Amino acid sequence: MISEKDLENISSAVSLADAYFSCRPEKPCVIAEDFFRGDAVNVQNEQNAPVPGAAQSDARTITAQTDTLQSPTAVQTVTRTDEPETNNETALQNIARKIAACNRCRLCGGRTNTVPGIGVPNPLVLVIGEGPGADEDAKGEPFVGKAGQLLDKMLAAINLSRHTNCFIANIVKCRPPNNRDPMPDEAEACRSFLDAQIGILKPRLILAVGRIAAQNILNTTTGINKLRGQFFEYRGIPLLPTYHPSALLRNEDLKRPAWEDLKKFRARLEEITGLSFSTPTQTQSGASTQNRNQN
């Protein structure tokens, strides 16, 4: 187990996750466990909690900390300003209402709640998952169970959050029974909702988590091991497939490649926006990034 003293000695140019993955090949998940299991997102203003279908608007009061092994440091969030929030919010709520009334496929019969999506209405990033599980079905929000907590930590590692600069949606908006994979006709029936959401949100980048999301969006049967870490385009928007957080929970060996994917994603986001999405432990100087509210 690496000590706090060791961590202090790691150059500030090297992120905690980077350091972790590179310095302990014989037991490659000690720091990553801490990293991903830590309290990565600290929502300081509960009133700003996002609502299904749309989200709160003033994200600036929320800070994220990505490293619980070092003293917490507030990270300036990078939010988008070129997209109007209000119109998007109304349009997203309209889609959420249509989803709630949908009976296009058999999944409507087993649902407790529909799960349209959650996040800011003018996101830089859209995260696409597979479909709701039991927790999500009960709450009507995507990624609220264990996989959701890990997803939040993965996003926080590159200064992204559903509370400030992301929207999270699924391929299907109703829970498949016993968490089985969505069937092709179910994904097809739900597709226009996702496409309508993308049309409103106009994200700068899309992160597709897991095989089902990547294969459906890209209309391919290629496996996730081949798709991950490569950029594709969907409707003119760059899209990167990576592993689903549930897969990382099942197999810790996937954390390293997932972190490589996230760094690639961050680099493209920085290239597109001209802004930094590094957290303080990931910057040369250790200083917070200074680019809030721009893109």
Q: Which residues bind ligand URA (CB under 6 A)?
A: 129-133, 136, 142-143, 147-148, 170
Nearest CB to ligand URA, comparing residues 16 and 156: 156
| Smallest gap from residue 143 Cβ to ligand URA (A) | 4
| Smallest gap from residue 19 Cβ to ligand URA (A) | 29
Is 227:241 a contact under the CB 8 Å cutoff?
A: yes
**Sheet with 118-119: strands ordered across:** 118-119, 166-170, 125-129, 205-209, 237-242, 232-234
DSSP class of residue 168 equals: E
Nearest CB to ligand URA, comparing residues 121 and 133: 133
Nearest CB to ligand URA, comparing residues 228 and 281: 228
Is 291:87 a contact under the CB 8 Å cutoff?
A: no
| Smallest gap from residue 279 Cβ to ligand URA (A) | 25
* Residue 258, CA atoms < 13 Å, CB-side half-sphere: 26
Is 41:156 a contact under the CB 8 Å cutoff?
A: yes
- Return the closest-CA partner of residue 83 out of 129, 42, 124: 124
Helix (H, G, I), strand (E, B) or coil at 207: strand
Nearest CB to ligand URA, comparing residues 10 and 194: 194
| Smallest gap from residue 47 Cβ to ligand URA (A) | 24
Nearest CB to ligand URA, comparing residues 52 and 142: 142
| Smallest gap from residue 251 Cβ to ligand URA (A) | 16
| Smallest gap from residue 164 Cβ to ligand URA (A) | 19
| Smallest gap from residue 273 Cβ to ligand URA (A) | 26
Nearest CB to ligand URA, comparing residues 144 and 275: 144
- Return the closest-CA partner of residue 143 out of 160, 161, 131: 131
Q: Which residues contact 44 (CB under 8 A, 6 or more apart)?
A: 61, 62, 63
**Which position has the token pair 């997932």?**
258
Nearest CB to ligand URA, comparing residues 142 and 280: 142
Q: Which residue is nearest to ligand URA (CB)?
A: 129
In the structure encoding, which two tokens stand for residue 74, read together? 């507030």
Nearest CB to ligand URA, comparing residues 23 and 249: 249
Is 162:152 a contact under the CB 8 Å cutoff?
A: yes
| Smallest gap from residue 250 Cβ to ligand URA (A) | 13
Kind plus residue range of the DSSP H or E element containing 260: helix 255-273
d(CA 99, CA 177): 18
Is 145:168 a contact under the CB 8 Å cutoff?
A: no
- The one-letter amino acid code at 54 reads A
